[in-house]
Amino acid sequence: MRSMHMTSLNMRMHKRRSRRRRGKKSKNEDTQEEACSREEETSAGPVPRSASVRPRRHVWTVGYVVRGDKTPAKKTTKRETLAKKMQTRLEQGPKRQESHTSSSIHAALGEALVLGNLFCFFFPDKMNIATDEFGNPFIILREQEEKKRLKGIEAHKSNILAACAVADTLRSSLGPKGMDKIIVGPDGQVTVTNDGATILNKMQVEHQCARLLVELSQSQDAEIGDGTTGVVILAGNLLSQAYRLIEKGLHPLRIADGFEKASQLAVERIREVVMKKDVYDADKELLVHAAMTALGSKVVSSHQRHLAEICVQAVLTVADRERNDVNFDLIKVDGKAGGLLEQTMLVNGVVLHKDLSHSQMPSVTKNAKIAILTCPFEPPKPKTKHKLDIKTVEDYKKLQAAEQKYFTDMIQKVKEAGANFVICQWGFDDEANHLLLHENIPAVRWVGGVELELIALATQGRIVPRWEELTEAKLGHAGVVREISSGTMGDKMIVIEECKNSKAVTVVVYGGNQMVVAEAERSMHDALCVVRNLIRDPRVVGGGGSAELAAAIAVENEADKIPGVEQYAVRAFADALTGVVEALAENCGLSAIEEVQRVKVKQRTENYPYFGLDCMLKGTDDMLKQNVLETFSSKANQIMLATQVVKMILKIDDVIAPNDYQ
């Protein structure tokens, strides 16, 4: 019994000693925490007198960094408890917003408190707290996520490099042998093209100055329609030359002034070497060659002659010769997948992607007299609420007879007007459709308003809004109206053609798939724009880089006469023009520097500004003999627009984001 009593007594004493040790240890930890707080307050500097009235609390953030490669042990509960206490102080106490540099952080690292195999650091509240897979907290400095704001020369360089990156994207797409690009949209839609404006429109450009080049390409496309790739490459070359001059110490404004003078000299030189032609009669072939030059770099280049002739014929059909202008709204370019490019045709009229209202109606109508209606082939409906109760068979027969009479009167009015073909904006009632079939009058329903206007322009007809106004004088006339099947899917189309004095035409483009059709439509648009520009301004220059080289030679000659540092900017402008021709030579597989210098020397020695690059290897450098021609308006517009955008970029020395002034 005595031994058992001693054993239980020893156990109770052992438990008491264990409790004392745990209490002393927790007290030491609390003391250690208070010591850390005193050290932090001491390092914060002297306390002002006002602090005695309202003490200022300093809030600190805690973070752990594992020393070496040791994995934290499971016995880290007390360290985590200390971290949670400090985090609670961070959340409850008032925050002091301070800016801390890397030097102040390193100074705080020197005052780190060592806890076991972990370092515990205390930083001001300029950071975020995160935890790793073991539950240990660590710090994320907010300053690491903030971008440094650039100003002055550094901002100039950053803007130039961003814009040059966009220009380099299009460099390989220049010329008749330029490469295509595949652009994948956010929704997964794929676009294959080498059109500069289309590529930049599909790209998601974020940099502000890079967007200026995107807008530059859009401006060239809206004003001229062609040269969207060349204008961006010229702007990129000018910015590259400006970057080189800035590195040498030239002020950006002096560079911009030099570029402005050089652009005027270049445009003046191109104006001196233009050739003015009569594009309506004697020089109609000139329009074809200019359109072929625009189509030479596209996917349709193998059929450029056929497509160029279609474009010229379409523009000349709708051109206003008195004002020397072309209304593109009268030219409809329509694509159909499932055919060959050589099947592309020009319809001297309108093409509707519709079918006849009844499959048994005649598919061909010659000498068509077309009634163009915007009133429905249905009984009138009351505009107010109305209810009609039919309770007997006699009442139903009366209603049927009234509807039958209404439809019969409509068909009779069509026949009295002399129409043998009906086009309606709205739908047909089944009874009316049956009566039209019975009278052998073909009809098309659900035709859009824009298409109705084109039909009226093509057939010299009038749109009839009410049945009472339908007369013979308002009918449209066409040589033939036929329903055809197109593509491999057998889709039906209504073709209205052989219209006399037609002012509306349709170009039907065929292709192997929808991507080829879309690219062919863009190519036809560029060629149509080239022909339209020649109608407006019938002046042409040589292609193949001959105009750029002639302008570069003239600018170099005038650079020696310009005093001051602007002379360097003028020479750089000439180098930028030469760089466009070098990009053209690279894409054609030629030795860029050697070939460009050879042609340049040839222009100087023979004083013949029509020597260019023989990209198609025809054996001559004379662009007039190769019939490689471009419009003067396109070349002049490229130089002026590119210079304006480059001047704007060179004058930007700071980019202020919304967060910078909030």
**Domain annotation covers residue 320:** yes
- The share of the chain scoring above pLDDT 90, in percent, equals 34
Both tokens assigned to 534 = 């020649």
Could you tell me which of 240, 252, 166 has the C-alpha nearest to residue 210? 166
Buried b / exposed e across 325-345, counting CB within 10 Å, b at 16+?
ebeeebbbbbbbbbbebeebb
Has residue 144 got a pLDDT over 60?
no
Return the CATH number at 492: 3.50.7.10
* pLDDT at residue 375, as a whole number: 87
**Domain annotation covers residue 51:** no
C-alpha–C-alpha distance, residues 426 and 408, integer Å: 18
- Which of 11-20, 23-32, 632-641 has the lowest average pLDDT? 23-32
Co-location of 549 and 632 in the same domain? yes
Co-location of 136 and 159 in the same domain? no
380 contact partners, CB below 8 Å, separation of at least 6: none
Counting the structural domains of the chain, the total is: 4
Average pLDDT estimate for 175-203: 89
Q: Which tens digits make up the pLDDT trace of 71-126?
A: 444 445 555 665 565 555 545 544 443 434 444 444 444 444 333 344 444 444 44
Residues in the chain: 662
229 labelled catalytic: yes
Average pLDDT estimate for 341-359: 89
C-alpha–C-alpha distance, residues 270 and 312, integer Å: 25
* pLDDT at residue 13, as a whole number: 60
**Which member of 125, 195, 221, 257 is catalytic?**
195
Co-location of 257 and 311 in the same domain? no
**Domain annotation covers residue 367:** yes
Co-location of 492 and 366 in the same domain? yes
3-class SS letters over 403-428:
HHHHHHHHHHHHHHHCCCEEEECCCE
**Which member of 191, 229, 293, 506 is catalytic?**
229
Co-location of 330 and 437 in the same domain? no
Domain boundary among 473, 501, 529: 501
The β-bridge relationship of strands 421-424 and 364-373 is: parallel
Co-location of 134 and 162 in the same domain? no
Has residue 394 got a pLDDT over 80?
yes
The β-bridge relationship of strands 275-276 and 539-542 is: antiparallel
Q: Which tens digits make up the pLDDT trace of 529-548?
A: 999 998 888 899 999 999 99
**Which member of 125, 221, 257, 526 is catalytic?**
526
Q: Which tens digits make up the pLDDT trace of 280-302?
A: 665 688 889 889 988 988 888 88
**Domain annotation covers residue 24:** no
Co-location of 86 and 192 in the same domain? no
* Residues 636 and 533: beta-carbon distance below 8 Å: no
Co-location of 612 and 637 in the same domain? yes
Both tokens assigned to 603 = 């222009």
Return the CATH number at 310: 3.30.260.10
In sequence order, which ranges of 372-482 are alpha helices (DSSP H)?
A: 393-417, 430-438, 449-459
C-alpha–C-alpha distance, residues 358 and 244, integer Å: 71
**Domain annotation covers residue 48:** no
Q: How far is CA 244 from the centre of its chain?
A: 29
- The share of the chain scoring above pLDDT 70, in percent, equals 75
**Domain annotation covers residue 611:** yes
* Residues 333 and 509: beta-carbon distance below 8 Å: yes
Tell me how many helices (H) and strands (E) the chain has: 19, 22
Has residue 202 got a pLDDT over 70?
yes
| Rg (the chain; Cα; Å) | 40
Domain boundary among 146, 175, 197: 146
**Domain annotation covers residue 517:** yes
Model-level pTM? 0.72
Co-location of 317 and 233 in the same domain? no
C-alpha–C-alpha distance, residues 379 and 399, integer Å: 11
One-character DSSP codes across 134-185: TS-EEEEEGGGTSPPPPBHHHHHHHHHHHHHHHHHHHHTT-STTPPPEEEE-
Question: Residue 539 pairs with which residues in a beta bridge?
Answer: 276
Both tokens assigned to 513 = 């798939």
**Domain annotation covers residue 46:** no
Co-location of 632 and 590 in the same domain? yes
**Which member of 193, 198, 228, 459 is catalytic?**
228
One-character DSSP codes across 232-273: HHHHHHHHHHHHHHHHHT--HHHHHHHHHHHHHHHHHHHHHT
Residue with tokens 């009593």: 5
Residue 264's alpha-carbon distances to 109, 258, 260, 470, 573, in angstroms, are: 62, 10, 7, 60, 11
- Which of 132-146, 154-168, 522-536 has the lowest average pLDDT? 132-146
* Residues 234 and 580: beta-carbon distance below 8 Å: yes
C-alpha–C-alpha distance, residues 477 and 497, integer Å: 10
Query: How would residue 15 be classed by pLDDT, with cut points 50, 70 and 90?
Result: low
Query: How would residue 43 be classed by pLDDT, with cut points 50, 70 and 90?
Result: very low
- Which of 19-23, 138-142, 272-276, 462-466 has the lowest average pLDDT? 138-142
Co-location of 522 and 561 in the same domain? no
- Mean pLDDT of all residues belonging to the chain: 79
195 labelled catalytic: yes
Return the CATH number at 221: 1.10.560.10
Co-location of 138 and 179 in the same domain? no
Domain range for 224:
152-277+541-658
Burial class from Cβ neighbours inside 10 Å (0-12, 13-18, 19+) for residue 515 reads middle
526 labelled catalytic: yes
